[in-house]
A and B are shown apart, each in its own frame.
Chain A
Amino acid sequence: MLTKYNKKVNIPNIIIYIILLLIVFTSLFPVINTIAISFSNSSKASAGVVTIYPIGFNLDSYKKILQETMFFNAFWISVKRVVLVTAMSFIITVLAAYPLSKEKKEFRSRDIYMWILVFTMMFGPGLIPSFLNIKDLHLLGSLWALVLPNLVGQFLIILVVNFFRSLPKELDDSSSIDGAGPWQKLFKIYLPLAIPILATITLFIIVGQWNAFFDGLIYMNKTSQYPLQTYIQQMVITIDPLKFLAQGGDISKIGATVSNRTLNAAKLVVTMVPVLVIYPYLQKYFVKGIMLGSVKE
C-alpha cells in the first residue's frame, strides 16, 4: 500500500518541491541581491551585473558608512525610540489588559472602555489633526513626538485581553480566596502564564517602531533629528524632482537610475540587521502569538 502510494505521487512531489524552491528563491533574491551589491566593486554594481554573489568583493561601502556621523546619529535615535516605546507601551498594555479581561459584573464600565479602544482603532484621527496636535503640544522636532503617540496599541491590548480571558477562571478565584489583590494577581499569576503572548506583543512593538518612518518625516524638522528609516527614506529613496532638475538631471530618468549603488545597499543592509538578528524569535513567537490572540473564550 505504502509503496504503491509513493510510486503514484512521485512526479507531483517533484513538481511541488521545485515550485516551493522557486518561491523560496523569489523571497530571498531581493535581500541577497542587496547584500551582494553592498560588498561588490562599485563599477560592477553600477553596471547592474551583480546577482546573488558579490563581484569584486570589498568592504569599501561599509568603511564609508563608518565615516558618516549622520547615519549613526539616526541609528541611535531609532534605538532610543524603540527602547522607550517598548518599555512604556509594554507596561501600559499589560496594565490596561488586566481590568478589561474581567467580566462585566466585576468591572462594570468594562464595555465602555473596550468600545473606546475598538472605536479609536477603527476610526483613527486624520493626518492633519494629528500633526496640528503635536504642533500644539510643542513636540515638533522632539524625540517624544516619536514616542508618546505610539504608547497605546489598541490591537495589542485586545490581544492580551483575549489571552487573559482564555485562562481558567479558577486560578483567579482561588488566589482571591488566598487573599491576593489585583496587583498581586496580575504580577504573580497572569503575567507568568502570559509569557508567549507578551513576547509576541513586545516583538510587534519593536519591529513596528524600528520600521516606522512616516512620523519622523512629518514631526521632525531637521535631518539630524530623523530616526534611521526616515533618514534612509530621505537619503536613499526620495528623489526631489526640483532638486533633480536644478542639478541638470533629465526628468524622464527619475526612478530610472540609482547613484551610489553600493553605499546605498550597505546602508539598507545595516538598517535590516536588527530585524534579521531578532528574526528567529520573531518567527517563533509571531506565529504562536497570532494563533493565541485569536483564541476566544
Chain B
Amino acid sequence: MLLPAMIFLVIFTIKPLLGSVLAFKKLNPVKGIWGSEWVGLYNFKVIFDIPNIDRILYNTVFIAVMKIIAQLIIPLAFALILNEVRKLWFKRFVQTVVYLPYFLSWVILAGIFRDIFAMDGVINKISGTIFGTEPVMFLGSNLVFPFLMVGTETWKNFGFNAIIYLAALTNISPNLYEACDIDGGNRWKQLLHITMPGIKITIVLLATLSLQSVLNAGFEQILNFYNPLVYESGDILDTYIYRMGLQNNQFEMATALGLVKSAVGFILILIAQKLAGKFAGYRIF
C-alpha cells in the first residue's frame, strides 16, 4: 500500500535530493549530474565571492524575523479581541471574512497590491486627497519594500494563524472567569490572570516552532512583488538562487548555495522541534 507513495517520492524527491551532489561538481551537459567531474569545494568558494552575499543574507533574515514577530503578535492580539465578543454570529462573520486572504495565491495578491500601491493607485490617491501628500512609489522604495512584505504577509495569514490561539482560548474553563467576576476582577484582570496564563504554552510552542523559518523570507511572495529597483532591500537567498540558477544558468553555484540553505534550515528545524518537545510536549507524529 505504501508502494505508490514511495515510488513517486524516490523519483521526484529523493533522486533530486541526491542530485544535490552537483554542488561538488562541474556540470557536464552531455553526461548529466552523475557523469560530471568532481571539483571539491570550488562552488562553495564561489559563493563567498558573490558581491552582495552579505546583503542578501541580511535581507533574508531581516524580513523573515520581522515576519515571525508580526505573525506571532498580530494573530494573538486579534484572537484576544475576538474572544471578548459574546455575540456568536458576529464572531463567525468576522472569522469567515479574515480567513479568506489565506487561500488566495501570491500571484493574485501581488496583482491586487501592485495596483493598490501603484503611483496612480488608490492608496496614493486617497492620501493625496486627504493629506495632500505627493504620490509615493511604494514598490520601488528600498525603505518601504521589506515592511510591505511583512505587512502583506501578516495581512494574508493573521486570521488563519489565529485559529490555534482561538482553539486554545476555548479550552480555558469558564469557571475561572466566573470566579474572577465574583472576586471583582475586571476584564483587564481576567486577561492578565486567566487568559494569558491559559494560552501561555501555545504562545511558547508557536514561538519555538517559528524558529525554523528564519531563512524563509517568503519566496513566492517576493518573487511576485520585487523588481530591480528593490533588489538592494528585497533580494533574498531564494530569489537570488532562482535568478542565478535558472536565468543565468549558473547551475553549480546555485545548487551549492541552495544546499547550504537547506542544511542550515534543516538544523534549525531540528532545534525547533527539540525545543518544542521540551517546552510543550510537541511532536510531529
Contact = CB atoms under 8 A, between A and B. Distances in A.
Interface of A: 5, 8-9, 12-13, 16-17, 19-20, 23-24, 26-28, 30-31, 33-34, 37, 46-51, 91-93, 95-96, 98-100, 113-114, 116-118, 120, 122-133, 136-137, 148-149, 151-152, 157-158, 161-162, 182, 186, 207, 210-214, 218, 229-230, 232-233, 236-237, 239, 241, 252-258, 261, 264-265, 268, 271-272, 275, 279, 282-283, 286-287, 290-291, 296
Interface size class of B (residues with CB under 8 A): 35 or more
A125 B16 CA distance: 6
B198 interface: no
Interface in B8-29: 8-9, 11-17, 19-20, 22
A110 to B, nearest CB: 10
Contact of A125 (B19, B82, B121, B164): B19
Contacts of B111: 34, 232, 236-237, 264, 268
Interface string B124-148: 1110000000000101100000000
Contact of A132 (B115, B251, B283): B251
Interface stretch (B44-52, B54-62, B65-73, B91-99): B91-99
Interface in B271-285: 283-285
Describe B's contact surface by its main secondary structure.
helix
Given A20-B94, A100-B2, A291-B167, A254 B120 contact: no
A272 B108 contact: yes
A4 B178 CA distance: 14
Nearest to A268: B111
Report which residue of A151, A230, A241 has the largest number of chain B beta carbons within 10 angstroms of its beta carbon.
A151
A33 B125 CA distance: 13
25 contacts: A5-B181, A37-B115, A95-B1, A96-B4, A114-B285, A120-B9, A122-B265, A123-B17, A126-B254, A128-B246, A128-B255, A130-B12, A151-B12, A152-B9, A186-B1, A210-B105, A211-B104, A229-B107, A256-B140, A257-B119, A282-B103, A283-B96, A283-B99, A291-B163, A291-B167
Describe A's contact surface by its main secondary structure.
helix
A50 B97 contact: no
Report which residue of A98, A127, A132 has the largest number of chain B beta carbons within 10 angstroms of its beta carbon.
A127
Contacts of B97: 24, 27-28
Contacts of B103: 207, 211, 275, 279, 282
A211 B258 CA distance: 24
A164 B111 CA distance: 41
Contact of B4 (A95, A207, A232, A257): A95
